[in-house]
Structure 1
């Protein structure tokens, strides 16, 4: 289990019902509002908004909720969210990047720092670990989209840079600036993606043993449970044996 695919795997580990749908919709709505505010409120004219809307649709977010989130971008007196990134180390020396959208930096920083410190981690300064990651586009498809060869050929034709296929999903990596174009091209051959977003791809993975794995996952869960946190990335890798012991 590698860091970039952690979110889907942890959903399987905890069970889909364990995720609070309202909290998930809140995070998706916040990203839609920020994307609409930063560009045109039309998804066809705003690549970031289109990706945010597609992500919301993939999670079965109602159309009315999506439209309200877009409308909030132009509403007077609406929340003004700021993009913030936190970097640090988790148990076992794992590098962790946390991306957040917040209207209160002090609150978010305190919550993130607490999640790190209570679970054997240390929050560092900006740039502390991001040099060990590449900023790229990540498009994910379920295994049902096709076998590894079919997905690889489709991704190559669409202009992707790398493909990682596993039992549950296909992860298609693109250059950061090509995410929108590659995602659109893939729709023609593979259909709509489960998700398409900017991501942090680790240059080197760190193997996490059983002693540190449970604490690391607890830290990640604590971070993701925070309303302000949008995504959590790490350079960790866990063997199937360790995952099986964690249940």
Structure 2
């Protein structure tokens, strides 16, 4: 198991996330509602709902928003029926991109995602072979040092750990996600993130500034779509270039 990774699969653009806080809350609320609809509306009896609420709390989503999202799943609440649809394709710089959506209108979402790939990438295509399907459990960096988290993850049955200045990302086999999370909760408390994720098998180094700008714009367009819940991409951008883009 690796205790540290010098790469990040998705560049963390905190400023952009802060500017889109209302949109982030909307997406979190949708996941909470869907999780409550597909299982029991009680977090202690519904792992997906518990994970969705934890993710919302990690983003400082108000408790009233969380409660309203759960109530929409109850009889007489939100009547929308959401489908989970995943799209794959190539983005700028031959970066493989997987887009996970929750939509109440498949035609609208498919058209929007296809248009983004056509404008910025090379279109929709099969790229999932460039990723590994894994379980992801994430704690903030302040939860402990890398060695402490690594030891706890090994004892819990995790496969890998990547620690950086922001978070500890613990990876599991998909079928082991719930068991590893439960074991870690006993030692470390509730994680910020618990979900199935796409982990790149290889990373594409983006070194050209124009190409990097195009890629960031493309990812922003996807993430700005209300139906898009998560975007995974297999790229790496040097810190210096990333900082110049932020500037």
Same fold (TM over 0.5): yes
Instruction: Look up the match of 2:40.
Output: 40
- Gapped runs of 5+ residues in structure 2? 1-5
The residue matched to 1:60 in structure 2 has which SS? coil
Q: Within 5 A, what are the aligned runs for 1:179-198?
A: 179-198=177-196
Q: Is the 8 A contact 2:114 2:124 kept in 1?
A: no
Once the two structures are TM-superposed, the CA of residue 3 in structure 1 deviates from its matched residue by 5.6
Aligned residues: 239
- Cα deviation, 1:8-33, whole Å, max 9, x if unaligned, reads x112xx35532x22211110111111
Instruction: Look up the match of 2:134.
Output: 136
- Gapped runs of 5+ residues in structure 1? none
Q: Is the 8 A contact 1:176 1:198 kept in 2?
A: yes
Instruction: Look up the match of 1:227.
Output: 226
Q: Is the 8 A contact 1:139 1:172 kept in 2?
A: yes
Bigger drift between 236-245 and 159-168 goes to 236-245
Q: Is the 8 A contact 2:10 2:233 kept in 1?
A: no
CA distance in 2, matches of 1:92, 1:2: 17
CA distance in 1, matches of 2:119, 2:7: 23
Instruction: Look up the match of 2:118.
Output: 117
Question: CA 1:122 to 1:55, structure 2 compared with 1: closer, same or farther past 3 Å?
Answer: same
CA distance in 2, matches of 1:17, 1:34: 24
Once the two structures are TM-superposed, the CA of residue 113 in structure 1 deviates from its matched residue by 1.8
The residue matched to 2:43 in structure 1 has which SS? coil
Q: Is the 8 A contact 1:92 1:208 kept in 2?
A: yes
Instruction: Look up the match of 1:81.
Output: 82
Q: Within 5 A, what are the aligned runs for 1:163-182?
A: 163-182=161-180
Once the two structures are TM-superposed, the CA of residue 192 in structure 1 deviates from its matched residue by 2.7
Once the two structures are TM-superposed, the CA of residue 108 in structure 1 deviates from its matched residue by 0.9
Instruction: Look up the match of 1:10.
Output: 13
Question: CA 1:156 to 1:57, structure 2 compared with 1: closer, same or farther past 3 Å?
Answer: same
TM-score normalised by the chain length of structure 1: 0.90
CA distance in 1, matches of 2:178, 2:155: 15
Q: Is the 8 A contact 2:206 2:237 kept in 1?
A: yes
Question: CA 1:33 to 1:16, structure 2 compared with 1: closer, same or farther past 3 Å?
Answer: closer
TM-score normalised by the chain length of structure 2: 0.90
